[in-house]
Amino acid sequence: MQIFGVDIGGSGIKGAPVDLDRGDLAQERHKVLTPQPATPEGVADRVREVVGHFDWTGPVGVTFPGVITNGTARTAANVDKSWIGTDIRSLLADRLGGPSQCPVTVLNDADAAGVAEMHFGAGRDRTGTVILLTFGTGIGSAVFTGGRLVPNTELGHLELNGHDAEKKASSKAREDEDLSWEHWARRVQKYLAHVEMLFSPELFIIGGGVSRKAHKFLPLIEGIRAELVPAELQNNAGIVGAAMAAAGRA
Ligand code: BGC
């Protein structure tokens, strides 16, 4: 079975039909640049471009980098504030020809990546508490127990040394402050220790673009009881998870 998945990010919007049996893209994904400013109307046009590229009709799952309840954005930490209160589900379904043509399901980006990792990646067959953290522009989180997602956990906004944690420990913070891997790993370690104190997970899955460079920083992290592994699906986890959610498999 195939369902379309779209991942809305700060710099790019990418999507493809997903083969839900394999947990992988059924065709090469199509990517367009996120408009700046990334307003709901501008992004909706680009999502139409991505879905239209494949002449797709049918369910579409979409990720968004903020809290989502009932298809509506409730926060927008790293995107245009005009998203807050936007009914993304209706906006996108209308732009894609109406809900009978393309019914839309929306979920948080880290939750989508987590759903994909739990089924097809590093979290397969894990029934204890598992936390996926994505390190990118911000820090996203997805918490699972018994294989079920607790949506919208937003652990990237925990306090770390008196700051919003993602401002100090995201991948963007490492780049902006030109931190060495050692220096950044110390911050990530402190952050993980805090999350571990709250949830005692059996497994941390580290996702986001930086997971490709996991060998540079994961070995530097000490003192965490939980197992610590890089995400396996990497770049396509959001697209796959979005499609799974649209198929009712989140
Ligand atoms: C947002 C989260 C999102 C994360 C990763 C954070 O700033 O609040 O909702 O999952 O960034 O994009």
Q: Summarize the confidence of residues 88-95 as an average pLDDT.
A: 98
Angle at 227 between CA 224 and CA 231, to 5 degrees: 120
Residue 71 and residue 54 in one domain: yes
| Domain presence at residue 189 | yes
Angle at 128 between CA 150 and CA 237, to 5 degrees: 60
pLDDT at 11: 86
Q: Each residue of 155-191: pLDDT tens digit?
A: 999 999 999 999 999 999 999 999 999 999 999 999 9
Q: How confident is the model at residue 10 (pLDDT cuts 50, 70, 90)?
A: confident
pLDDT at 196: 98
| Domain presence at residue 116 | no
Residue 95 and residue 132 in one domain: no
Cα–Cα distance measured from residue 195 to residue 188, given in angstroms and rounded to the nearest whole number: 10
pLDDT at 234: 78
Residue 102 and residue 130 in one domain: no
| Domain presence at residue 120 | no
Residue 72 and residue 33 in one domain: yes
Distance 186 CA to ligand 1 centre (A): 21
Q: Each residue of 184-231: pLDDT tens digit?
A: 999 999 999 999 999 999 999 999 989 999 999 999 999 999 999 999
Residue 175 and residue 209 in one domain: yes
| Domain presence at residue 211 | yes
The bridge status of strand 60-64 relative to strand 30-33 is: unpaired
Residue 164 and residue 189 in one domain: yes
Q: Summarize the confidence of residues 123-146 as an average pLDDT.
A: 97
Pocket of ligand 1 (CB under 6 A): 65-67, 75, 77-78, 108-110, 134, 136, 138, 140, 154, 156, 166
Residue 144 and residue 68 in one domain: no
| Domain presence at residue 118 | no
Nearest atom within ligand 1 for CA of residue 138:
11
Residue 136 and residue 217 in one domain: yes
| Domain presence at residue 115 | no
Residue 87 and residue 38 in one domain: yes
pLDDT at 250: 83
Q: On the CB side of 207, how many CA atoms lie within 13 Å of its CA?
A: 33
Number of domains in the chain: 2
Residue 99 and residue 139 in one domain: no
Distance 55 CA to ligand 1 centre (A): 30
Provide the CATH number for the domain around residue 21.
3.30.420.40
| Domain presence at residue 219 | yes
Distance 109 CA to ligand 1 centre (A): 7
Which residue's C-alpha comes closest to atom 11 of ligand 1? 138
| Domain presence at residue 80 | yes
Distance 65 CA to ligand 1 centre (A): 5
Distance 198 CA to ligand 1 centre (A): 19
Residue 71 and residue 157 in one domain: no
- Show the domain range for 202: 125-231
Cα–Cα distance measured from residue 117 to residue 203, given in angstroms and rounded to the nearest whole number: 12
Residues 6+ apart with CB under 8 A from 216: 181
The H or E element containing residue 133 is: strand 130-135
pTM of the entire predicted model: 0.97
Which residue's C-alpha comes closest to atom 1 of ligand 1? 66
Residue 177 and residue 220 in one domain: yes
Q: How confident is the model at residue 235 (pLDDT cuts 50, 70, 90)?
A: confident
